[in-house]
Structure 1
């Protein structure tokens, strides 16, 4: 299992790093991360972009999947995701906790909750299904 710092560095040169996602805790049972709300993650209307919330949750679920790859699996790809957006933010920090629902040999299902750190308000509920990949 990679450390939170290693996971943050793992995504530093790709979308998680571009957005500013920082992994705070990582275990096979839970991935916990944060994303500071700043102009680069906002929509043109001045509120947090829904895609920023989805990217935070999908990153957490994906890193959780990596932590739980079964023997012989070489990776994964997201095959379905669903998000219910319940609120938004204009400042502060948003947080995500992702936990496994199903850890199978061919698929994994992860649930994630995104909240606003300062208010405690739930911003989104998220479910992600990943297909595990095996070498040919």
Structure 2
């Protein structure tokens, strides 16, 4: 099972080539054996700051949407093995702490996995496990004919 999990993480990390996720240096680092929890990390640097010198909320949202969409992708890929597309149709966040340096982590967990909709809860935190943001994401699954 460990080998399959590592292969899935490698696949996710390879899919991000030439994307915003690659530009922001997002890396997938953990996938639970049940495939319901995915963790990614992203280094903080000045390129993703807002004008006052803190991490931009949009960078947090990019990390949250990336890890949330990816956990849906892994679940659909392994269950249906059909051609499909995943789109995020709603995302919200509560930013509870600002941050200027270090590494940001995003832990995405599916709390509803329907045939068409997935509801994902994402916690964004720093290396000390201090919560930076709480996010909620809704993904729609569309089967291609």
Greater than 6 Å deviation, 4+ residue runs:
none
CA distance in 1, matches of 2:108, 2:99: 20
- Alignment: residue pair count: 135
Residue 68 of structure 1 and its aligned partner are, at CA, apart by 1.1
Q: Are the counterparts in 1 of residues 122 and 135 from structure 2 also a CA contact under 8 Å?
A: yes
Cα RMSD for the two superposed structures: 1.5
Query: Does the 8 Å contact 2:93/2:134 carry over to 1?
Result: yes
TM-score when normalising by structure 2: 0.87
Bigger helix fraction: 2
Q: What's the counterpart of residue 75 of structure 1?
A: 85
Gaps of 5+ in 1: none
In the aligned structure 2, how far is the partner of 1:107 from the partner of 1:93?
A: 30
**Among candidates 96, 100, 118, match of residue 106 of structure 2:** 96
Match of 1:66 among 67, 73, 89: 73
SS in 1 for 2:88: strand
Give the alignment's TM-score, normalised by structure 1. 0.92
Give structure 2 stretches of 5+ with no counterpart.
none
